[in-house]
Amino acid sequence: MTVSELILKNRSTRAFDESTPISKATMEELIRLAAKSPSGMNKQPVRYRVLSDAADIDKMLENCRFAGLLGIKLPPEGQKPTGFILMFTDKEAKSPEALALKDIGIAAEAILLGAAEKGFAGCMLGSFNPTRLLADFGISDRYTPQLAIALGKSAEEIRLIEAKDGNLNYYRDENGVHIVPKLPDADLFI
């Protein structure tokens, strides 16, 4: 697949086919790829924790919120992610926060594009309690939780549409397809 195809394929996915799990080794491979991404001042402040045990995945699912706008239970029962990559910034890397957060975004996208290339999908999650996350997984507060990525094989249909009248709220249509409005050209270029 070309990079353009991967970017279009890489949709935030919140229901997974549990019969095809993503392995710990694959997630580690994605992290090694992401770690080759650009980094502000080359401080490389991003650190990772891989979750692949069912008990750890359940613990993380209890802490995060999927598609808050929809007000439905996601992921659905029996369609959980089969892995998580947790992303942190390391205080000791001494990267200015504004740069470190950009590094997180760049690395997260690299992970998801790499996952899409391997036939997996995922969802970035910023909605979780960071203190609880550190406690749940026994991680030092030297590391600041920034983003979680739920991963697995997609069991969802997702479609992009052009946003109308500035409405950017995603929704589910009558067939359960997840619809994501994206800005039209006229709003992109200033």
Ligand X SMILES: Cc1cc2nc3c(=O)[nH]c(=O)nc-3n(C[C@H](O)[C@H](O)[C@H](O)COP(=O)(O)O)c2cc1C
- Indicate the pairing of strand 46-51 with strand 121-125: unpaired
Residues in contact with ligand X by the rule CB under 6 A: 11-12, 14, 65-67, 123-127, 158, 170, 180
d(CA 147, CA 127): 8
Query: Which C-beta is closer to ligand X: that of 12 or that of 39?
Result: 12
d(CA 148, CA 174): 30
CB 10 → ligand X: shortest distance, Å? 7
CB 36 → ligand X: shortest distance, Å? 21
Instruction: Please give the angle made by the CA atoms of 150, 152 and 153, to the nearest 5 degrees.
Output: 145
Query: Which C-beta is closer to ligand X: that of 58 or that of 92?
Result: 58
CB 25 → ligand X: shortest distance, Å? 26
CB 123 → ligand X: shortest distance, Å? 5
E strand intervals along 1-103: 46-51, 83-90
The answer to whether the beta carbons of residues 125 and 64 sit under 8 Å apart is yes
Query: Which C-beta is closer to ligand X: that of 31 or that of 113?
Result: 113
d(CA 84, CA 106): 17
Q: At 139, is the secondary structure helix, strand, or coil?
A: coil
Query: Which C-beta is closer to ligand X: that of 1 or that of 25?
Result: 1
